[in-house]
Structure 1
Amino acid sequence: MMSKKLQTATQLFYKNMLRAGSKQHSHCVMRCLSAQIPANVKAHNFNPAHLHHIGKSALVYRNVGQELERTAAEYGSTESIVSCHEQKRYTYQSLLEEVDRVAAGLLKLGLEQGDHVGIWAPNHMHWYLTMLGAARAGLVSVGINPAFQEPEVEYCLKKVKVKALIMPETYKTQNYYEIIKCICPEISNSSDGCIKSTNLPNLKHVIIDSPNKLKGALSFDDLLGLSNPAEREDISKMQRHIVPDSGCNVQFTSGTTGQPKAAVLSHYNFVNNGIHIGNRNQLDSNSRICVQVPLFHVYGVVITVMAAMTHGSTLVLPAAGFSPADSLRAIVDEKCTVIHGTPTMYVDLIKKQRELQLPLKTANMAITGGAPCSPQLFLDIKNVLGLDHVRTVYGLTETTAVIFQSRPGDSMEQILNTVGHLQDHVEVKVVDAQGHTVQFGEPGELYVRGYATMLEYYDDEQKTKETIGNNRWLKTGDQFILEADGYGRIVGRLKEMIIRGGENIFPKEIEDFLNSHPKIIETHVIGVPDERMGEECCAFVRLADGVESITREEVKEFAKGKLAHFKIPRFVIPINEFPRTTSGKIQKFKLAEEYNKMYK
């Protein structure tokens, strides 16, 4: 426990730091504490892991629609998006015109500011147009995973009271229209695109991007043709009435237990995170981004769409869903300079490039996020794809995507062993189990506060309060190490921590180590029950091409002198493909189910 004198000194120190934080210059407040801490505090080596990084460029107070207008005015003739699989292209000027047709069409259907518009689709052009159109109309877009089945979609539509749903007719084996008919049977007897559903009382309209006339639904072309020129001109006038602090988008969290929560993100969140992400990635009107990530996910809609839009960059959609071969061909054909993907996607992209050996001459940067990336994978991305730069982003859905990110000029050590530097205008601290701030370099749970924090979990006051306290600190649930220079490292998810005989083990450390084994290209570690130790480590490994097997003894020998004995997995299980979400995250609960099938 702190003495009263130490507590008083600490409070005085924080008060002075808070004042310092109001100065408009770029540095990390509380970066180097030793020179400013009272003597009695120094004696206790008190160096709290608490930073507030004030950026060089100020935050802006604009909504998404205003930002799109600004970009169209500055980069009107630059391509905003290219959909290779649909053979469609828009410049920023033609995009703005089409987006306003969508916005005016949605309002013509009777939707009002604040209403929710669901987008249940893979990476199609209508996804991009609808998200921006909803924002221009003062509506809230709701990203729904295109892989979701009937009960999952029903939950999403009910949870956030979706009023209009936009989707394709089919994608791969998924028939969206047939699924909606099961949830909302009244659609078959509806006319003029107006639905009255007992099961989904809030759903009034279903819009389908299809050339076919489907009972009860409007086509996307119908939506585009609903408004007249005067109504479309009114969309521009509306922008000053759409408050940047209001909701813009709902993201369903990809939890592994229970129903997903619905995080509400604002225009202010979107625009500013997009600006600062793009600044760090040095995007400009010459940047052409190969988009492998799904647009519905926060990686797609903020790190990709908003960062590109705020900097006049071009998005290239290689395929409706992730396809390594299509991505590589799009990089070549569309002269992409930047690649976006999750670690799992890069594993597959590297494998395909080793096979195809395409000339990726224009690509010079890869951005990875969505899940931790091992140092070995970073090196493979750089070397196999022939890139000059590999950068990482780290954040959560609830923080509008990014709170740590690589910076231009970062050393290889910083790129390989950290998640980057604290983002501009974001405040963080690392706390122990009792909520006390730990020292720099010590592990604890990462807390975040600042402009990027979500508004709330929709219609879930209790969960919102559990995640964001009255002081607006958001609890990430990530075990994290923060250094005084502003760089950080993920130790692992608190909920994934393995306790083996009293020893705390974080899977990421073992995963990164095993990924450097010549026989292994990807590893994911889980805790499994053990009568004696409580839990044991089980490693599921994906083997390199041509490798048929690997034994625990091989792993044990490889780890000798490099990894503590209690961290060496008790079980090593080869697997052909890892179960993952559409956004690329590994579903570890399914690995646990696989283990149970094998050993119980």
Structure 2
Amino acid sequence: MTPTPALVHGAREPPLWFKTLGSLIDEQANRYEHHTAAVFSWQNVRLSYRQLADRSKILGKAMLEMGLRNGDCIGIMAGNCYQYIEVFLAGGRIGCPVVVLNNTYTADELRNAVQKSSCKLVFLASEVGSRSLSEHINILRGSSRKNPTLPDLRRVVCLGGSEVGEAGLEMQTYNTFTSNGYSVFMNDSVLKRAESLVRPDDILNLQFTSGTTGSPKAAMLTHTNLINNARFVGDAMALTHEDVLCCPPPLFHCFGLVLGFLDSYTHGSTIVFPSDFFDVRKVVDALVEEDVTVLLGVPTMYMSELEVMEKTGQRPRRLRTGLASGSTVSQGLMDQLREKMGVEKMLIAYGMTETSPVTFITSLSDPESKATTTVGRVIPHTSAKVIDPNGKLLHRGERGELCTSGFALQKGYWKNKEKTKESMKEDENGVLWMHTGDEAILDDDGYAHITGRIKDIIIRGGENIFPREIEERLMQHPGVKEASAVAIKDERYGEVVGCFLKEAEGTQRPKNEELKKWVGQLLGRHKAPAYCFWLGDAGISNDFPKTGSGKIKKHVLCDIGNILVHNGPVKAKL
């Protein structure tokens, strides 16, 4: 029998939509009018499809009134609040790409992201959960004509509190800024003129991602990318206007914004945001109080929710399915979800930020053997293949790099043609492929099995962490000579950061808690090492395992770290 090539093509039906977000907003408002589009339980806010349309027009006019024009970037750093959705819809209306800024950023990371994306306007919460963002506000306030670290930034809008601007930089509250949309000089004809300039292949959203070097890049995602991706994922979940989705994942991530909000929005459903950041008790309360039918999250979130439900005795009445991303759902977890939540089938989605994000997804009709061990099959208008290191097409069942093509591919990286060419390459037939960096197998039925990562990434609770930035930070510490960060398996987060370290000569070995704070204060707490392993300690050799060319064999370190953590004594757990 001739081996089958590791190449698959998605369905050609239904046809793609070629429309802008602005036109979709108006269509949905006319179709669903006063049906509830979004609920923000923690803010006690409920907005209908008509209200979102009207409010996005007012905010869009306020953006035009301050001088924004087609192609100008708008940034937002906040939790899952109603203002976030309004900013996204308004920016989409007038052709201003919305840059979603990770709310775990340090102040320096925020400044760098705003600088790289050339934001002219930034919306910034005063806090996310219990974390104050006053330092972040101050670092943006410091951008003035006297201190031009952010020369493009013209205004900061605070989503809480009252801030006063300094020389050259205007600062306003959200309500004050929005009131500018009622200006007599900014009538509907001005808004319509701005909307008429927007095209489906224009950039709607900039999402920061990284390559194996950890160098931040912004994926340019278009109206066509995001609207169709959301639509097809919503189709896989069989969403209707009767569904109520609960969305704990953050809006700064494709999961919350596309697989959450836009999935729901394109299908006339209702979406609930229980809290500004993940609060398991508020999620469980929302499942019951809002009569939720679909729950989104990563496996760690589901585990926490099950723990709370076990204690409180709460159980949702209509929950029928859910969507997980970041890793597959084990059979054991699936059994618990079915028994304690009533979820019959949990869907698994796979993709990357650069592909809007989903390219593979399981189906409600998949057999259990596929639903818990694969990431499903390609979505419509998408193709995928598995290749060897030389670019040669492999056969089904052979491991290699997964590449994808089709409508979902990003337009490229913002102002970075070099990196775009590195990851997006045309084949001999002129087809453009995204090289994912993930190792995979395509089986005989066309399902994808993700077997590892070619690119060096740690995925903690669905969030990508890039080892190099952690390694560079650790080696800035006077007590560390060399560092290598790897993924350590973890029941709650899937993976956490583990670091193998070599002591600097003539210094005292730093304590693990000290190193954790050292990394966390600059890069964020989620990037701090959960485990530190010192070369020369029990079970660890005196030097890093290396290839003939001197590269550290990280897969060997992964194996050693996981054995020490899960099968042997661990001296360095933080």
Report if TM-score (shorter chain) is over 0.5.
yes
Name the counterpart of 1:570. 563
Q: Which amino acid aligns with 1:387?
A: V
Give the aligned partner of residue 440 of structure 1: 396
The one-letter amino acid of 2:371's match is: I
What aligned pairs does 1:472-491 form with structure 2 within 5 A after superposition? 472-491=432-451
Query: Contact 2:143/2:149 (CA < 8 Å) preserved in 1?
Result: no
* Shift, 1:78, TM fit: 1.1
Rounded Cα–Cα distance in structure 1 between residues aligned with 2:567 and 2:155: 47
List per-residue Cα deviations over 1:411-461 (Å, max 9, x = no partner): 111111111121111011000111111101111110011000000111111
Which amino acid in 2 is paired with 1:114? G
Please give the per-residue CA displacement for 1:14-52, whole angstroms capped at 9, x wherever unaligned: xxxxxxxxxxxxxxxxxxxxxxxxxxxx6xx24211111
The CA deviation string for residues 364-394 of structure 1, in whole angstroms up to 9 with x for no partner, is 1111013444343333333332212211111
Partner of 2:305: 349
In structure 1, the residue matched to 2:418 is 462
Partner residue in 1 for 2:173 = 219
Q: Of 256, 259, 279, which residue of structure 1 is paired with 2:235?
A: 279
Quick one: structure 1 residues 321 and 298, their matched pair in 2 at CA, closer, same or farther if it must change by over 3 Å? same
Equivalences for residues 413-424 of structure 1 within 5 A: 413-424=369-380
The C-alpha deviation readout for 1:453-482, integer Å capped at 9, x for no partner, is 000111111111110013411000111111
Could you tell me whether the CA contact under 8 Å between 2:40 and 2:81 is conserved in 1?
yes
Contact 1:170 1:177 in 2 (8 A): yes
| Residue pair 1:536, 1:570 contacting (<8 A) in 2 also | no
Q: Given the alignment, which residue of 20, 25, 44 partners 1:87? A: 44
Give RMSD over aligned pairs.
3.0
Aligned to 2:69: 112
- Residues 12, 380 of structure 2: 8 Å contact kept: yes
- Of 360, 385, 401, 1:429 maps to 385
Instruction: After TM superposition, give the deviation of residue 75 of structure 1 in Å.
Output: 1.0
Specify the SS of the correspondent of 1:571. helix
What amino acid is the match of 2:127? T
Structure-2 change in CA distance of 1:197 and 1:184 (3 Å):
farther
Segments of 5+ residues of structure 2 without an aligned counterpart are 459-485, 501-539, 547-552
Native 8 Å contact 1:184 1:200 kept in 2: no
- Unmatched runs of 5 consecutive residues or more in structure 1: 1-41, 188-194, 499-506, 541-565, 576-594
Q: CA deviation at 1:283?
A: 0.7
TM-superposed deviation, 1:302: 1.0
The structure 2 residue matched to 1:130, chosen from 82, 87, 90, is 87
Of the three residues 178, 198, 205, the one matched with 2:148 is: 198
1:327, CA displacement in angstroms? 0.3
Q: What letter matches 1:47 in structure 2?
A: T
Identical aligned pairs, as a percentage?
Answer: 27
Residue pairs, 1:373-452, within 5 angstroms: 373-452=329-408
Aligned AA (2:133) = Y
Is 1:65 aligned with 2:22?
yes
Matches within 5 A, 1:9-24: none
Opposite residue 204 of structure 1, the aligned amino acid is R
- Tell me which of 300, 308, 320 is aligned to 2:256: 300
Q: Answer whether contact 1:197 1:203 (CA < 8 A) is retained.
A: no
Q: Which residue in 2 is equivalent to 1:149?
A: 106
Question: Which residue matches 2:123?
Answer: 166
| Secondary structure of 1:428's aligned partner | strand
1:572 deviates by 2.2
Any conservation in 2 of the 1:54–1:425 contact (CA below 8 Å)? yes
Q: CA deviation at 1:533?
A: 6.7
| Other-structure match for 1:243 | 199
Residue 370 of structure 1 aligns with which residue? 326
User: Which 10-residue stretch deviates more, 530-539 or 248-257?
Assistant: 530-539
2:96 match: 139
Q: 1:52 aligns with which of 9, 12, 19?
A: 9
For the pair 1:310 / 2:266, whether they are aligned, the reply is yes
Residues 392 and 226 of structure 1: is their aligned pair in 2 closer, same or farther, counting only changes over 3 Å? Answer: same
SS of 1:123's equivalent? coil
Q: In the TM superposition, what is the alpha-carbon distance from 1:263 to its structure 2 partner?
A: 0.6
Q: Which amino acid aligns with 1:334?
A: E
Decide whether the 8 Å contact of 1:537 with 1:571 is kept in 2. Answer: no
Residue 357 (structure 1) shift:
1.9
Work out the CA distance in 2 between the residues paired with 1:374 and 1:92: 37
Q: Is the 8 A contact 2:315 2:340 kept in 1?
A: no
Distance in structure 2 (CA, Å) of the matches to 1:243 and 1:532: 52
Q: 2:160 aligns with which of 210, 220, 224?
A: 210
2: CA distance between counterparts of 1:170 and 1:567? 40
Q: Secondary structure at the match of 2:250?
A: coil
Q: Measure, in 1, the Cα distance between the counterparts of 2:447 and 2:100.
A: 31
Q: Check conservation: 2:264, 2:270, Cα contact below 8 A.
A: yes
1:211, distance to aligned residue in structure 2 (A): 4.7
Equivalences for residues 547-562 of structure 1 within 5 A: none
Q: Is the 8 A contact 1:425 1:450 kept in 2?
A: yes
* Distance change (3 Å), C-alpha of 1:221 and 1:232: farther
C-alpha spacing 1:233/1:380, structure 2 compared with 1 (3 Å): farther
* Paired residues of 1:365 and 1:388 also in contact (CA < 8 A): yes
Closer/same/farther in 2, CA of residues 522 and 220 from structure 1, 3 Å limit: closer
Q: 1:255 offset after TM fit, Å?
A: 5.9
User: What CA deviation, in whole Å up to 9, does each residue of 1:111-158 have, x standing for no partner?
Assistant: 110000001111111111101110001100000011211110011011
Distance 2:456 2:116 in 1: 27
Please state whether the residue corresponding to 1:217 is helix, strand or coil: strand
1:258: how far off?
2.6
Distance in 2 separating the partners of 1:74 and 1:402:
27
For 2:19, what is the secondary structure of its paired residue?
A: coil
Q: Equivalents in 2 of 1:573, 1:151: separation in Å? A: 36
Distance 1:399 1:199, change over 3 A: same
Aligned positions of 1:168-183 closer than 5 A: 168-183=125-140
Does the CA contact (< 8 Å) of 2:212 and 2:456 recur in 1?
Answer: no
How many residues of Structure 1 are paired with residues of Structure 2 in the alignment? 490
CA distance in 1, matches of 2:302, 2:455: 26
